[in-house]
Amino acid sequence: MKEQLPALIIVVPLLTALLCPLVARFSTKLLRGLGIAAVLLSFLSAVGALGHALTEGPWHYYFGNWLPPWGIEYVIDPLSGVMAVLISFLSLAVLFYAGSFGREEGRLKKGIFYTLYLLLTSGLLGMVVTGDVFNLYVFLEISSLSAYALIAAGGDKATVSTFRYVLVGTVGASFYLLGVGYLYALTGSLNMADLAVRLQPLLDSRAVLVAMVFILVGMGIKMALFPLHGWLPDAYTYAPPAVIPFIAGAMTKVMVYVLFRYFFFVFGIMNGFVPIVLEVLGWLAALGIILGSVMAIAQSDFRRMLAYSSVAQVGYIALGLSLGNFFGFIGGVLHIINHALMKSCLFLVAGGVKWKTGEYLIEKYAELGNRMPLTMGAFLVGALSMVGIPPTAGFFSKWYLILGALEKDLWLYVVVIVLSSLLNAIYFFRVIENAYLKKAPVAGKEIRGEKKKAELPIPMLVPLVVLGVSILLVGILNEPLISNILQYAFPGGGL
Amino acid sequence: MKEFFAEYFVYWLIFILFMLGPYGIIFKKNLVKKLMAMNIMQVAVILFFLALGQKAGGTIPINVPGLVGAVNYINPLPHALMLTAIVVSLATLGVSLSLLLLIQKHYGVLEEDELLRRMNQ
C-alpha cells in the first residue's frame, strides 16, 4: 500500500466523485461522511508522500509502470509535496464548513455538489504532483470545469460572471496548450525532467521564447496576474459562500506553482531568455500589487475587497518568482502557503457573517466583534497577516521577498512591498473599525439563531479557528518550516 | 513559393484561426458569437498539434507488413493527445451552453450591452 501513496492522493477523490450522485440517493449523512473521508485519505497520503520525499529524496511514481519519458510519472519532491498537503488541507477544512449551507437543497443537487467539489480537489492535486506537461493540461481543465460549475451555482449574476470566466479561462488554457505544442515540436517530449535536459541546447532559440511567453500568458490569465485579472472580481463576488474559500485559496496558487515549476525546474532560472521574461513578469507583478490594493480600498462589499486583494497578493508571489534567487523563491513559496491560508480564512469569515446576518457590506459589520467573538478573532488574525504584522505568517514571506529584492538591488520592489502593506492596512483597518469600534445605529439583524450572542455552529466554527491558528503557527514556526522543508524545494537543495 | 505553401502555409492559417478567438471574444457583442470564437480558438490549437504530427510520405500509424522504420509512419502521439483536447473542448462547450441557457432564461437576452443594463437594474 505504501508504495502507491502518490497515486492515492489523486485516485481516491476522483473515484469517490463518481460515487457521490449514487450515494446521495440513499443518505445525505453518508454522502457527507464519504466526501470528508475521501479528502482526509488524500490529505494523509499527501503527508505520507511528503515525509517519504523529505527522508529519501524525490519520489517518482510511474503510472502503469510505463517508464518516463513514454509514460506519465507523478513526482513528489518537497515543493509539490508541500503544495499537495496544503491543498488537501484546505479542501478538507472548507468541505467540513460547507455542510451548513444548502441544507434545504434536494438530494441530487447535494450529490452533484460533492462530485464537483471532489473533482476540483483532485484536479488541483493532480496539477501539483504530475510530472507531465500534457497531463497537467488535462488536470487544469478538470479543475477549471468543476470550478466553473461550482461558481455558477451562486445565482443569476454568478451565471454571467461565470460565462465570462469560462471564455477567459479557456483562452488561458488554449495559450498554455499552444506553449506545450511548441515545447513538444522542439524536443519531442512531454515529461518535465526530460524536457529540462532536452531544452538545454535549444534555450537560445526564439521558439523557446515563444513557448515561454505562451505558457506565461496562459497561466497568467488563470492566476489573475495584472493586467489579465478581469475575470476574477466578479467570479469571486457572486460565487456561493460554501465553495469560494477553497477556490480563492487554492486555485490561483496552483497556477503560480505551475509557473514556479516551469521556470525553476524546466527552463532553468538563469538560462537563455528566462531573465528577460521574468523581468517583465516582475514589473507586471509590482503594478498588480499596487493597483490591486488601491482597487480593494474602493470596494464596499467585503467579498469584492478580498477579490481585489487576491490580485495584489498573487502579485507578491509572482514578484518572488521573478526575483529568481533563493530568497525570492522561499518568499514566493512561503507566500503561496500563507496566502492560501489567509484568503481561505477571510472568505470563511465572509461566508459565516453572511450565514448569520445575511450581509456582505462592510458598513453592516458594526458590533460583530461583540456578537461573534471567535469568528472575528479569526478575521483579525487573517487581516493582520495580510498587512504583515509579526508574528503572523504574512510578515515572514514579505520579509524574505524584501531580502530577495535587496540581494538584486531592486529598491523599487522594496518600496512597492512596503507601500502595499500600508494600503492593505487601510482597507483591513476599515473592517476592523466597523466590527469592533462602531456602534450599530439599529440593532443588527439575525437571520439564524435566537440568541443575540450565539456564535456560528460548530462545523463552521472549527475550520475557521483551525485556519486562524494555522496562520499563527506558520508564522511562528516559519524558521523550521524553511530549514526542514522549503530549503530542499529549491533546485540544488538550498544555500 | 511551393516550399512556403508546403511548409509554412498551414501554420499561418492556424495562426489566423487562433487570433480569430481573442478578436471575437473582445469585439463581438453577442454571447453566442463569443462562445463560437472561443471554440474556434480551441480548434486552432488542435489543428496545430495535428499539423506537427504530419509528414510527407508517411502513412497511418498501423503496422503495414513490409513497411518497417519510423520514417514511413506519421507520428501518432499528437493525435492521441488531441483526442483528449477534443473531449475537453466538448465539455467546455457543454458547460458554457448550459450557462447561456440560464442567462437567457433569467435575463431574456444574450446581447452583452443589453444584458449589462438589465443586470444593473
CA distance B22 to chain A (A): 8
Instruction: Give the pLDDT confidence score for residue A495 in this predicted structure.
Output: 45
Who wins on pLDDT, A137 or A99? A137
3-state class (DSSP) for residue B55? coil
**A299 or A366, higher pLDDT:** A299
Q: What is the 3-state secondary structure (H, E, C) of chain A?
A: CHHHHHHHHHHHHHHHHHHHHHHHCCCHHHHHHHHHHHHHHHHHHHHHHHHHHHHHCCEEEEHHHCCCCCCCEEEECHHHHHHHHHHHHHHHHHHHHHCCCCCCCCHHHHHHHHHHHHHHHHHHHHHHHECEHHHHHHHHHHHHHHHHHHHHCCCHHHHHHHHHHHHHHHHHHHHHHHHHHHHHHHHCCCEHHHHHHHHHHHCCCHHHHHHHHHHHHHHHHHCCCCCCCCCHHHHHHHCCCCCHHHHHHHHHHHHHHHHHHHHHHHCCCCCCCHHHHHHHHHHHHHHHHHHHHHHHHCCCEHHHHHHHHHHHHHHHHHHHHHHCCHHHHHHHHHHHHHHHHHHHHHHHHHHHHHHHHCCCEHHHHCCHHHHCHHHHHHHHHHHHHHHCCCCCHHHHHHHHHHHHHHHCCCHHHHHHHHHHHHHHHHHHHHHHHHHHHCCCCCCCCCCCCCCCCCCCCHHHHHHHHHHHHHHHHHHHCHHHHHHHHHHHHCCCCCC
Domain limits of chain B?
2-119
User: Around Cβ A435, how many Cβ atoms within 10 Å?
Assistant: 24
Partner-chain contact A149 B52, CB within 8 Å: no
Comparing A337 with A108, the larger pLDDT belongs to A337
pLDDT digits (tens, 9 = 90+) for A395-440: 899 999 999 999 888 888 999 999 999 999 888 888 888 888 877 6
The three cell numbers locating residue A388? 504583515
Answer yes or no: do A174 and B21 touch at CB < 8 A.
yes
ipTM above 0.90, yes or no: yes
Q: Which residue has the higher pLDDT, A484 or B105?
A: B105
Q: What is the residue extent of each domain of chain A?
A: 2-489
- Nearest CB neighbour to B115, from listed A137, A160, A170: A160
Does domain B2-119 correspond to CATH entry 3.40.50.150?
no
- pLDDT score, position A53: 87
Across chain A, mean pLDDT equals 87
- Distance between CA A151 and CA A241 in Å, rounded? 9
Q: Which residues of A touch B (CB under 8 A)?
A: 134, 137-138, 141, 145, 148-149, 152, 156-157, 159-160, 162-163, 166-168, 170-171, 173-174, 177-178, 181, 184-185
- Report pLDDT digits (tens) over B71-96: 788 888 888 899 999 999 999 999 99
More confident residue, A74 or A360: A74
Quick one: angle between helices A274-297 and A411-432, nearest 10?
30
pLDDT at A214 over 90: yes
Res. A491: pLDDT tops 90: no
Which of A87-96, A280-289, A486-495 is the least confident region?
Answer: A486-495
State how far residue B69 is from chain A, nearest Cα, in angstroms: 17
Residue of A455 and A212 predicted with greater confidence: A212
Residue A448's pLDDT is what?
A: 61
Q: What is the mean pLDDT of residues B15-26?
A: 91
- B34 contacts A167? CB cut-off 8 A: yes
pLDDT of residue A175: 94
**pLDDT single digits (tens) A167-194:** 999 999 999 999 999 999 999 889 988 8
- Judged by CB atoms closer than 8 Å, whether chains meet at B95 and A174 is answered as no
**CA-CA distance, A239 to A97, in Å (whole number)?**
16
Q: Is the pTM for the entire model greater than 0.80?
A: yes
Place of cell 488561458: A172
Query: Is pLDDT above 80 for A103?
Result: no
Cβ-Cβ contacts under 8 Å for A409 (sequence gap 6 or more)? none
Residue B91 has its nearest CB partner, among A145, A159, A181, at A145
Among the partner residues A149, A156, A168, nearest to B95 by beta-carbon distance: A149
- The whole-number pLDDT of residue A440 equals 67
Q: Are A229 and A311 in contact (CB under 8 A)?
A: yes
- Chain B residues touching residue A71 (CB < 8 angstroms): none
Task: Check pLDDT > 80 for residue A42.
Answer: yes
